[in-house]
Copies of this chain bind each other. A is one copy, B any other.
Amino acid sequence: MKQEEKKTLQIPYEECTDGSIIWRYSKNPIIGRNPNETIARAFNSAVVEFNSKFVGIFRGDTKSTIPYLYYGESEDGINFKINKDPIVFYNVDGSKHEIEYAYDPRVVKIDGTFYIMWCNGSNGAPTIGLAETKDFKKYTFISSPFLPFNRNGVLFPKKINGEFAMLSRPSDGGHTPFGDIFISYSKDLVYWGKHKLVMKPSWQWWQSTKIGAGPFPIETKEGWILIYHGVTKTCAGMVYSIGAALLDLNDPSKVIGRTDNYLMTPEMEYETIGFVPNVVFPCAALVDNKGRIAIYYGAADTYLSLAFTTVDKLLSVLKK
């Protein structure tokens, strides 16, 4: 594992041709329906670099339509081979951790360990599940950081003031029609506290019903860039768009900047048609040393897609 970081991986990227802040990959979606014989739809998923490859933790909805997490890998970050069997988690004591359902994973690497968070079915109620792996072979379930009902838990990629920090969105048990982003802290990933409100829905309609953190925040000199989803409710259901915010480096509950305009909204056929029409849902972002960003986002709860941006572009709309 020593050589892990040696080979420099090239993240998927295409140049912007039209002045957008975020622009789509020209060959979207990168994962279509029925990617393998057990998975019906693989969409809201997280990709990171590991061992000179791109590895992903995928939300795969089986043909029994129960979502679980799956491991997949890719040479180029675009073409993925996804396992047919879901990831098995073990408790700290070595026993198997039973999974009712698991969806919308995020993955973040802190000090050489990969942490996976997802919406975890626990006694029939959704809350955040938190696990770790060092090799994407053995996965240890660490804790349910919060009481139900919670979704969209996202760890920061490093400790803040010596503590782990996690964003999350308290909710209820259904198709929650409300939702704010909170931050919580922990010294050990098991006991959590110091909860603070970060952001509420806003008057712009695309983010007026609920909001939730997307990929783990990207550290910049100006602050943490948080790419998030915002939701509005039409007379034909909810519409999910993408926005961004800039959070204070030392106290991320302080919002320095936030997009009034969405940065991306469902427009393409693979975003407007599918199991849940009109959803773009970002779960992961790769950043290279030039500040180029590849965003992995679920489309219509059916496809996995890619979009691109840069740190500078995002900062240009978030600093003011």
Residues of A within 8 A of B (CB): 33-34, 40, 61-66, 122-123, 125, 127, 143-150, 168, 170, 172-173, 175, 178, 180, 182, 184-188, 190-195, 197, 200, 203-206, 232-239, 241, 260-262, 265-267, 269, 272-278, 301
Contact = CB atoms under 8 A, between A and B. Distances in A.
B234 A275 contact: yes
Nearest to A301: B234
Interface of A is mostly: loop
Contact of A64 (B125, B235, B262): B262
16 contacts: A34-B267, A62-B261, A64-B204, A64-B206, A123-B197, A127-B195, A146-B195, A148-B170, A175-B233, A186-B193, A234-B276, A235-B237, A235-B238, A236-B237, A266-B275, A269-B273
Contacts of A148: 170, 182
Contact of A191 (B34, B192, B236): B192
A143 to B, nearest CB: 6
Contacts of A170: 125, 147-149
B175 A234 contact: yes
Interface centre among A200, A232, A239 (most CB of B within 10 A): A239
A52 B202 CA distance: 43
Contacts of A239: 275
Nearest to A173: B178
Nearest to A269: B273
A316 to B, nearest CB: 15
Contacts of A62: 261
Contacts of A66: 203-205
A193 B145 contact: yes
Copies of the chain in the assembly: 6
Given A147-B195, A236-B236, A275-B278, 12 more contacts: A33-B267, A34-B267, A62-B261, A63-B262, A123-B197, A185-B191, A191-B192, A234-B237, A236-B238, A236-B278, A273-B277, A277-B277
Contacts of A180: 123, 125
A274 B145 CA distance: 38
Contact of A65 (B204, B275, B276): B204
B276 A273 contact: no
Interface centre among A125, A144, A275, A301 (most CB of B within 10 A): A275
Given A63-B261, A147-B170, A175-B234, A273 B273 contact: yes
Contacts of A146: 146-147, 195
A200 to B, nearest CB: 8
A276 B173 contact: no
Contacts of A274: 272
Contacts of A147: 146-147, 150, 168, 170, 182, 184, 195
B206 A65 contact: yes
B195 A191 contact: no
